[in-house]
Structure 1
Amino acid sequence: MRDLLNQLSVLNRPFVVGCNSWAWEFLKKAVMAHLLLPPPLTFAPFDYKKLKGWFGHIAEKASEGNINFFNADDRSQFFTETEGSVVQDSYLNTLASESRGIPWIAWNLWRKSLRLERVEKEKRMEDEEEKESEKKKRSVLLGADRGVRVIWVEALASLHFPEEQKVDSLLVLHALLIHSRLTVEELLAVTPNVETTSVVPALLKAGIITLHAKSLMCAPAAYPQVRVHLEDAGFTMDQI
């Protein structure tokens, strides 16, 4: 990396250097990359309005109007032209915050919060003793009678983080975030003092990391929790 930076420092033409935010923080400390390169640029984070528009577009395109999404807390419908409920907007705000506005992370968290439920006929029937507001909430479920599938959006759930060998687990996760993905052999090379034999299977079982095409990576849906554990343990954090 030092050789590359030395070559770039005398290069007399425009160039682009790309890396993730975790790698950038590592390079700042390891080779003082920020002294030779300009401040990094990245995409603006997605707030709850952008997430709502994006998810709504995906849902409409994929389902052709045959799927309705309802908040499990107050039964309000997502992705309608009318303003969402306080609970719905609060959910999307939380999602934007938890994902740090990173679309890929937010999308994976959203997918993990979706649940299928068959709406019982009794739940769709009006009860004479119900309040008018409850009648209106239940009436939106009638879409199921027209062959429309109902999908419930539940509150974001936390994953169980293994407490055994936690320091080794965090070293593995920090390495994966810096490098984006690593094979087991590469992970051993960059974390030589870590007992990966037991740590990696435990993280895989907990859903904290995933294995794809022989490469390990931090599970997108686990990213918010991983950040919290790394920060609490005093690891160098990305700042973007």
Structure 2
Amino acid sequence: MAATSDTEQETPPLWQWVSVADYHPPKASVKVVSENWLATLRGRRRPDAADAESAASINHLEALSHEQLARIAPDPGWGGAVAALDGALGDWLANEQPERLTAFLIAPPHGGSAEILRLWAEQRQWRVLEPPVPEQILAGDSHWLSSQQLAEQPWVLPALERVYLRHAAGLGLIRQFLHQAYSGKLGRGVIGCDSWAWAFLRRVSPSGGRSKKLTVQAFDKERLALCFQALAEGPDSRPLLFRQANNGKYVLPPPEGTVDTSVSHSDFLQHLAAHSRGIPGIAWAIWRASLRARPDADTATGETAAADHHSPHPTLWITPWDHLNQPELPTPVGRNHAFVLHALLLHNGLATEWLARLLPLSLDRVLEALALLQDADVLEQTGEIWRVAPRGYPVIRKFLENERYLIDDF
């Protein structure tokens, strides 16, 4: 367990479901903004001796292997969010005649709403409604909806964004579905939706009125510390120290009884919370990329036998924030790239074929844009579906916001 002080405020729950209106992404402090500005200036001048020494202390460290990452920073899973969701929906579930039979869970990309809902439905033995295929959406195939017979048992639709296409013929089916859901004809159900699709659908369809709309509160630096420490402290793991590579500052609170009062705490997590907008999947991906170990480290734990012989705890080293290699958009970014990125976010992923059918671009232009964006590490492909990569999301969102595209509220 990490050390605490009497002056620290009570730690918030790791997974906290709140009304969408109460969602607050972490903001960078004045100190963090100033440091980012100074880092930019340093990048524009010639490096000095201090820069070289700092770089040397980092460059001799090694990235963790897949086995080490699986042990020290495994996939966080969504079990805690599922358990918290039961409490958040408790009153609505207990009410046999609620004011609205439909509730919504909204989450940003890599926020986990679809995965959480599938697990929750499995635990409660609710029916999972699979989305129509794109051809059914464009055809307005009402058979997809009429064949479900949803009113007979409670149901879950994990990904509402899979029921529409941004196309002249791609909105009829989702309007039918939402109209029936809001009217109560489909019975009790919970609908998950990506935040970008939600931003678009609010402008072309009813927004659900007084239906309950929940989201997981953003992960601030305190929640990130709890999350990463819990992942690293598995049932068979020794307590670890996480320290910044260039100055030794604590990045996570050290295990109880190991606090060195001469060592201060890093602001790495504050940078991470603000940059990732508190989205757990994005913060986790960046955290994994920041982890380093000395070449003589134990391959299973990251223990540094030579350098940390005075410490009974294995030490992991964190790349300083201003030394992290964050993905950047290729230069210049043209209109075609913006079209592709925006379409991928509005639909939470699309296949190449459907990008070409929905956008005013030829297939060749779509393929060119995808290849360039993939080379920049801002896109990833799973099967046929292209999505914005976790570490690429912050720079893409900022770019689209600056270009005045419709963005989400998360």
Normalised-by-shorter TM-score class: 0.7 to 0.9
Matched residues in 1 for 2:330 and 2:277: separation?
Answer: 23
- The number of equivalent residue pairs is 219
Q: Look up the equivalent residue of 1:113 and give its one-letter code.
A: S
The range that moved more, 100-109 or 167-176, is 167-176
Change (3 A) 1:87 1:146: closer
Residues 14-63 of structure 1 deviation map (CA, whole Å, 9 limit, x = unaligned) = 332221110000101222x3265636321111110110111011112288
Q: For the Cα contact (< 8 Å) 1:66–1:147, is it kept in 2?
A: yes
Matched, 1:23 2:189: no
Q: For the Cα contact (< 8 Å) 1:115–1:152, is it kept in 2?
A: yes
Shift of 1:96: 0.7
Q: Could you say what secondary structure the match of 1:210 adopts?
A: strand
Question: Which structure 2 residues correspond to residues 1-240 of structure 1 after superposition, within 5 A?
Answer: 1-12=174-185, 13-31=187-205, 33-34=206-207, 36=209, 38=211, 40-61=213-234, 64-65=237-238, 68-79=241-252, 80-81=254-255, 82=259, 88=266, 90-118=267-295, 141-143=307-309, 148=314, 150-155=316-321, 156-193=324-361, 195-240=365-410
Residues 150-185 of structure 1 deviation map (CA, whole Å, 9 limit, x = unaligned) = 433331433231124522212211111121121111
In the TM superposition, structure 1's runs of 4+ consecutive aligned residues that sit over 6 Å from their partners are 144-147
TM-score in terms of structure 2 length: 0.48
Q: Could you say what secondary structure the match of 2:404 adopts?
A: coil
Matched residues in 1 for 2:179 and 2:260: separation?
Answer: 54
Q: Could you say what secondary structure the match of 1:40 adopts?
A: strand
TM-score in terms of structure 1 length: 0.79
Q: Could you say what secondary structure the match of 1:65 adopts?
A: coil
Matched residues in 1 for 2:385 and 2:260: separation?
Answer: 43
Matched residues in 2 for 1:98 and 1:233: separation?
Answer: 19
Matched residues in 1 for 2:310 and 2:361: separation?
Answer: 56
Matched residues in 1 for 2:333 and 2:395: separation?
Answer: 17
Q: Could you say what secondary structure the match of 2:193 adopts?
A: coil
Q: Could you say what secondary structure the match of 1:42 adopts?
A: strand
Matched residues in 1 for 2:357 and 2:260: separation?
Answer: 52
Greater helix content: 1
Change (3 A) 1:147 1:98: closer
Matched residues in 2 for 1:218 and 1:62: separation?
Answer: 33
**Corresponding residue of 2:61:** none
Q: For the Cα contact (< 8 Å) 1:69–1:153, is it kept in 2?
A: no
Q: Could you say what secondary structure the match of 2:190 adopts?
A: coil
CA RMSD in angstroms comes to 3.0
Change (3 A) 1:30 1:37: farther
The range that moved more, 209-218 or 148-157, is 148-157
Matched residues in 2 for 1:174 and 1:219: separation?
Answer: 13
Matched residues in 1 for 2:182 and 2:312: separation?
Answer: 65
The range that moved more, 73-82 or 223-232, is 73-82
Change (3 A) 1:48 1:107: same
The range that moved more, 66-75 or 142-151, is 142-151
Matched residues in 1 for 2:358 and 2:211: separation?
Answer: 27
Of all paired residues, the percent bearing the same amino acid is 28
* Structure 2 residues without counterparts, runs of 5 or longer: 1-173, 298-305
Matched residues in 1 for 2:282 and 2:235: separation?
Answer: 20
Residues 177-226 of structure 1 deviation map (CA, whole Å, 9 limit, x = unaligned) = 12112111122222243621210000001101011122111000111111
Matched residues in 2 for 1:11 and 1:212: separation?
Answer: 36
Matched residues in 1 for 2:343 and 2:260: separation?
Answer: 43
Q: Look up the equivalent residue of 2:308 and give its one-letter code.
A: L
Matched residues in 2 for 1:66 and 1:87: separation?
Answer: 18
**Corresponding residue of 1:124:** none
Q: For the Cα contact (< 8 Å) 2:250–2:265, is it kept in 1?
A: no
Q: For the Cα contact (< 8 Å) 1:66–1:149, is it kept in 2?
A: no
